């Protein structure tokens, strides 16, 4: 049996323990960037959307943040948020 010194054992555990965490961050970075971009869009272009559509989109974005470790669900939540905003877009011509 191979005997490892405590320092070597700790080093190996650190390397193998950190690898999955780093992989998860790489997978979800795009999703998190999309969440931030969409939140910025809602805040900056608030007058372009109804209050209800903004509320529903924010709810979907909150769910996307919760699903950040599951890229498929995160992506789905972002798509639903965009759909809500699109459905609640105000027609600028009617207001003029």
Over residues 14-39, the mean pLDDT reads 70
82-87 long-range CB contacts below 8 Å, 24 or more apart? 82/38, 82/57, 84/53, 84/56, 84/57, 84/60, 85/38, 85/41, 85/42, 85/49, 85/53, 85/54, 85/57, 87/53
Q: Where are the domains of the chain?
A: 25-88
Over residues 26-33, the mean pLDDT reads 74
pTM: 0.66
For the chain, how many residues are written? 96
Paired with 49 in beta bridges are: 89
pLDDT at position 30 is 87
């Amino acid at each position: 049996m191979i005997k490892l010194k405590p320092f070597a054992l700790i080093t190996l555990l650190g390397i193998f323990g950190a690898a999955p965490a780093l992989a998860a961050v790489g997978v979800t970075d795009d999703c998190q960037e999309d969440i931030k971009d969409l939140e910025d869009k809602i805040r900056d272009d608030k007058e372009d959307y109804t209050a209800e559509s903004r509320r529903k989109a924010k709810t979907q974005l909150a769910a996307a943040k919760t699903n950040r470790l599951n890229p498929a669900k995160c992506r789905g939540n972002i798509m639903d948020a965009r759909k809500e905003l699109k459905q609640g877009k105000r027609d600028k011509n009617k207001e003029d």
